[in-house]
A and B are shown apart, each in its own frame.
Chain A
C-alpha cells in the first residue's frame, strides 16, 4: 500500500515537473510575471585527512516560478570508489508563506541500502537568517523518520563566508536492517568557510563532525562500526 503511495508520489512529481515546464507563457502578454527560472548549487569536497580518496557531495536545484517549483536534493559520500551513503530527493515545492515552501515528494537512498521514502517537509528562511528545513520520511514498510537541518551564512567579509550547519536525524522506531534505533539517530554538524571568487565559484574548507546517538550508536558499537567521525574537507561550491 505504502509502496504504491511512494510510486504515486514519484509519478506525481514527474507530472508536476512537466506541468511546471508548461507554465512559461503564464502571465499576461505585456508583463511576463510568472516566468520560469532555474538554479543549481553543487558542493564537492575531498577529505584532507584521510588521503585515501574520500569525497563528499551535496547538491540542490530547482526549476519553476515564484510559487511552484520542482526541487531536487542530493548528498552522499564516496569512500575509495564505494558509495558509503547516497541519497536523492525529488520534490514539488510550493510557496506557502513569504519565507517558506511546503514540499512533498520522494527520496531514494542508493546507499547504505536501497530504500525509497515518501517525503513531506518544509523549507525556508527563519529569523536571523537561518536556513532551516524539516522533513518527514516514510518508507515502504511504514517506518517513519525525520530530519531537521539548519545553516547560516556569516559574512566575515563580502566574499569570505563562514557557514555553521547542523543536521539531526530521528527515527520513530527501530529499523533493524538499517541498524537504526528509535529516537535521535545521528547528528551531523560543522562549519564551512568559503571564499566567493565569483558568485558562481567558491572554494571552501569544511570541518564536519558526525556522531551516531543513542540506540543507533549502541547498535553500531555492537557491529564494530565507529560511532563518530571528524573530517576536514577541501572543496569547491558551484552555483549557477
Chain B
C-alpha cells in the first residue's frame, strides 16, 4: 500500500502535459489566436496551444449586502469559475462566450489526449496484493519497451513548476510564441506567471 501511495505521489509530481497541436497552416495564426484568446506556440512549423494544466488563470469573487445587479448567469450543471471575463461581465453573452471558449479548448485537449493514448487503446489497470509487490522487473521491461519504440513526432510538453509560479516547456527547439501579430523567441524554458 505504501509503495502504491508513493508511486501515485511520484506520478503526480513528474506528470507533464503535451501541448495541444492545432495544425501547421501559418496563414491561420491570427484566426487561431483570436479564436482561443491566448498566445500560440510555434515550433518546427507546427502550431500549439498551452494546455489548461499549465496555463493557470486568475479567479475572482465577491458578495454584497446590497442589490447586486449581476449578469444573469446561464444555467450550468457545474458552477462557473469566475475568471476575470466572468467577474467583470456586463452581459450574459460575454459569460457564454467565455464558457464556449473553455469548452472548445477542453474538447480539443481531450481529443489530443485520446490521440496520444491510441497506441495503448487508452486502457487503465490497477492491482493490489497482500504480499510484497516487486515492481523492479516490471519497471525494467517497461523501460526496454519504451526505449525500442521511437515516437513518430515528439510534441512539446509543459509542466507546472513545483512552487506553482509558472510552467516549464520541454522539446521546444527554435520555438516562438505568436501574439498580436508578432513572433516572440522563447529564450528560457521556464515561463513565469505575471
A is bound by B: no
Q: Which residues of B contact A (CB under 8 A)?
A: none
Q: Which residues of A contact B (CB under 8 A)?
A: none
